[in-house]
Amino acid sequence: MSTFVRFARTSQSLSLAALEEVSRLGLREADIEHLFLALVINEQSAGRSLRSMGIDLDVARRAVEEQHEAQLVALGIDTTFPEPGRIVLHETHGYQLSKRASDLIARSGGRGKQGDAAAVLRELVQEPSGLIASILHRLGTTPDALLKHLDLPDAPSEKSPPAGTKVKGRVSGSSDSFVPAPVERVWEFLADPTHVPEWEMSVGSIDHSGQDAAPGTVWQGYARTRLPDGKPLKVKPNFHRRSIEAVAADRPNRVAWRVAYPDSPRSTGLLTEFTLAATTSGTHVTITTSWLRRHGWRGVVGLPLFPIRKFLLWISAFQTGSALGRVFR
């Protein structure tokens, strides 16, 4: 993966997670402390390093909250913050990163830097305001100790799980995600057909008759007609129905679903495979999405679009991982 692609993917995932965190608080601007929280739940080595030091999402959120309260007390302001709610970023509008947060991310992709989450974390702990250093102090560590720990190699148990199996005749894209919940709980959520609309954005509802997700079982679903923010979606009549098939349910490491369009036989269905591995403070999930590759003259004509299709599949996998993470945060 090139440095540019790594930087683009990292900045997107961290920015999204930081904005999701502020949406819980009823705010509209994410600053560097929210970027720190985003790093705590990041799937790359930076997130694994933080969590292996005992800094999980709950304790990090508490440290940030205590730091904000201390700053108000220092200003002579006696007040309390409202209780955080659920993540509503995907249902509302008007969010942005602060200038110092966006500038910090940009510096992590500068000349001679890797552009990954570790580079962002290095920039963050050296940020001159001292805010992150104060939060780390509340977490029982220091910027220097964190940087030294970041340089340590991953333990074998912290390695990313293998990606989904590549199938001949399919074009696929993958994305990794960290979910702050035990692997069994994540597996049970993903193996339940009633939860498909929560992570598959194209499915609005599913007819469920109580069957377990045994491989080969098929349910009928329907397209989403409105976005989470209420905006209506236009759906062609032959794409309104969905057939939702359980492809694999191997406890506790793999779940796969296929979503197809029974009223549009020429369209290629989407296969989504989840590969799960237990990790410190949660579960590492690799999401692989794939389409059947067209054969004959249609396949030849479509060759120039192959990179675009790969990118679209990665976007689909990334969005699925983001939706899954929201459920458990």
Residue 154 makes CB contacts below 8 A (sequence gap 6+) with: 45, 48
For residue 168, the model assigns a pLDDT of 56
Contact 276, 285 (CB under 8 A): yes
| Same domain (yes/no): 243, 109 | no
Last residue of a domain, one of 130, 157, 184: 157
Average pLDDT of span 236-264: 94
Q: Does one domain contain both 142 and 209?
A: no
Q: What is the spatial distance between Cα 254 and Cα 243, in angstroms, rounded to a whole number?
A: 20
Torsion of CA 88, 271, 289, 176, to 10 degrees: 70
> What is the tens place of the pLDDT at every residue in 297-315?
344 434 454 567 778 888 9
Closest CA to 64 of 43, 45, 37, 39: 37
Domain end point (choices 104, 126, 157): 157
Residue 163 clears pLDDT 70, i.e. is over it:
no
Instruction: Quick: pLDDT tens for 30-71.
Output: 999 999 999 999 999 999 999 999 999 999 999 999 999 999
Tell whether 45 and 99 lie within a shared domain.
Answer: yes
Which residues constitute the domain of residue 15?
3-157
Between CA 206 and CA 14 the distance in angstroms is: 32
Q: Residue 91 carries which DSSP code?
A: G
Claim to verify: residue 87 and residue 180 sit in the same structural domain = no
Q: Report the pLDDT value the prediction gives residue 167, as an integer from 0 to 100.
A: 55
159: pLDDT confidence band, cut at 50, 70 and 90? low
Do both 19 and 134 map to the same domain?
yes
Instruction: Convert the pLDDT of each residue in 68-107 to its tens digit.
Output: 999 988 888 877 777 899 999 999 999 999 999 999 999 9
Q: Are residues 124 and 166 in the same domain?
A: no
169-227 per-position pLDDT tens digit:
678 899 999 999 999 999 999 999 999 999 998 999 999 767 777 899 999 999 999 98
User: Minimal CA–CA distance to 221: which of 192, 197, 241?
Assistant: 241
> Does residue 138 share a domain with residue 209?
no
* Helices marked H in the chain: 3-24, 32-40, 45-52, 57-74, 99-108, 117-125, 131-138, 143-150, 183-190, 196-199, 296-301, 306-327
Q: Which helix (H) or strand (E) holds 260?
A: strand 254-260
Residue that is last in its domain, among 157, 192, 220: 157
Same domain, 97 and 215: no
Least confident of 10-19, 150-159, 183-192: 150-159
What is the predicted pLDDT for the residue at 203?
Answer: 95
Number of compact structural domains in the chain: 2
Distances (CA, A) of 297 to 169, 261, 294, 303, 310: 15, 22, 8, 10, 20
Q: Closest by alpha carbon to 240, among 291, 289, 203, 269?
A: 203
Examine the domain organization and report whether 153 and 167 are in the same domain: no
Q: Average pLDDT over the chain, rounded to whole?
A: 89
Q: What percent of the chain has pLDDT over 90?
A: 74
Based on the domain organization, do 63 and 29 belong to the same domain?
A: yes
The rounded distance, in Å, linking the Cα atoms of 230 and 209 is 28
Please indicate, yes or no, whether residues 196 and 251 belong to a single structural domain of this protein.
yes
- In this structure, the answer to whether residues 123 and 196 fall within a common structural domain is no
- C-beta neighbour count of 135 within 10 angstroms: 22
CATH number at residue 71: 1.10.1780.10
The encoded tokens of residue 258 equal: 């296929």
Write the CATH number for 278.
3.30.530.20
Note the pLDDT of residue 77: 85
